[in-house]
Chain A
Amino acid sequence: MTDMKPMLAIAALLALTASPAITASAQLNMNAPAKGKTYVTYAAEPQTVAANKQAMLELRFQIASGYHVNSHTPKSDFLIPTAVTLQPTAGVKAGVPQYPHGVPYSFSFDPGTKLDVYAGSFTVKLPVVAGSGEHTLEGALKYQACDNASCYPPRTVPIKVLFKAK
């Protein structure tokens, strides 16, 4: 006769482990997002493009967890759009920055108002025609951040785009 005890023990153990998982549904550790003074950071990465030809640079930005910023086309005149400005640079002809589409967002206390925001990360594309060599484009990103119950005054983050045209 086969010894059933180990198998019975395993079956009992499985049954016992199931019940706490059912009842412990409220034991959730809600870590509040970290609140710092910088809500958007610029991830500068050297890029290479073809010289003397229309090319596209990518400006990557990271938004702190728990925050969002208005897209470039917010749905109200009172809201401050996210926007890149760049200084003229010799040897580089920069076009109009191309912004990504935002995602819809509503504060839970005002579900009827739809906002158009960036959250997580977003990339702004910049068309350029650059002569051969290394170039640095300098400028700034202006944005205005909120979390789920507060907003923060508009900020700017400096941008330095290093790239090589060859």
Chain B
Amino acid sequence: MLRRAFLLLIMIGGIGLVVWSGVQNLHHRRLEAQRRADQAVIVRTPEPDPSASPLLGKPAPDFTLVDLKGKKVSLKDFKGHPLLLNFWGTYCDPCKIEMPWLEEFQKKYSSQGFEVVGVTYDAEVGRDKIAASTRQLGVTYPILLSDSDAEKAYLSDSEVLPMSFYVDRSGKIVQVTAGLGGKDQLEAMVKKTIAAND
């Protein structure tokens, strides 16, 4: 009788242990999932995927677009300069997170010829609203209004915003990123772009 009670106690204890460990496992898995989700938001593209864009390794397609003051700006205006061409939208909060970083990098690396150009993918938004958005972000680098030719050349395979093309001094696209990445990773790609074909 005592022996049976003891064995029953062991079995109940074993079942309890399984249930408790299952609850703990679920809790740990949820925490891990949340941790990965949080990390995934900041570290979206830790390394450029060579297969992600057909433009990678190719000369940057030429464009002539209009800035917020109506002045025409072409890719060839930046010839010989390492360039970050950043597609964004006024409705894109992830874009607005990285744009102040790009402003910072523009200033930090301007002595090495580095330039940043923003291209807004805002078909229906007027210049005033775009200008207000860039003012709010503290952005002073050129902002150009996209057109169908530029969109066809750069965004035909993907409409993810933000989307950035890193162009070296020779005019070749050496990096492509889509989505918000980490600031350190962005800066590392800026440095690589400056160093390429230097």
Contacts and interface: CB of A to CB of B under 8 A. Distances in A.
Contacts of B91: 78-80, 144, 151, 154
B40 interface: yes
Contact of B93 (A19, A77, A107): A107
Nearest to B25: A21
Interface string A134-154: 000000000010101111111
Contacts of A34: none
A109 B38 CA distance: 8
Contacts of B123: 153-154
A85 to B, nearest CB: 14
Contact of B11 (A14, A149, A150, A151): A14
B124 A154 contact: yes
A153 B21 contact: no
**6 closest A-B pairs (Cβ-Cβ)?**
A14-B14, A25-B28, A151-B92, A150-B179, A21-B21, A18-B17
A87 interface: no
Contacts of B161: 150-153
Given A108-B38, A151-B94, A2 B4 contact: yes
A149 B24 contact: no
A26 B32 contact: yes
B174 interface: no
A5 to B, nearest CB: 11
A113 interface: yes
A154 B123 CA distance: 9
Contacts of B129: 77-78
B93 to A, nearest CB: 6
B11 A19 contact: no
B10 interface: yes
Interface of A: 2, 4, 7-8, 10-11, 13-15, 17-19, 21-22, 24-26, 28, 30, 77-80, 107-110, 113, 115, 144, 146, 148-154
Nearest to B160: A150
A26 B27 CA distance: 11
Given A10-B11, A15-B14, A154-B124, A149 B89 contact: no
A149 B28 contact: no
Contacts of A25: 24-25, 28-29, 32
A4 B14 contact: no
Nearest to A24: B25
A96 to B, nearest CB: 22
A146 B161 CA distance: 9
B44 A149 contact: yes
8 contacts: A2-B4, A4-B7, A14-B18, A25-B28, A25-B32, A78-B129, A107-B41, A153-B161
B13 to A, nearest CB: 8
Interface string B96-122: 010000000000000000000000010
B164 to A, nearest CB: 12
Contacts of A10: 11, 14
Contacts of B93: 107, 110, 113, 115, 146, 151
B62 interface: no
Contacts of B17: 14-15, 18
Interface in B124-170: 124, 129, 133, 159-162
Given A4-B3, A18-B18, A150-B160, A78 B41 contact: no
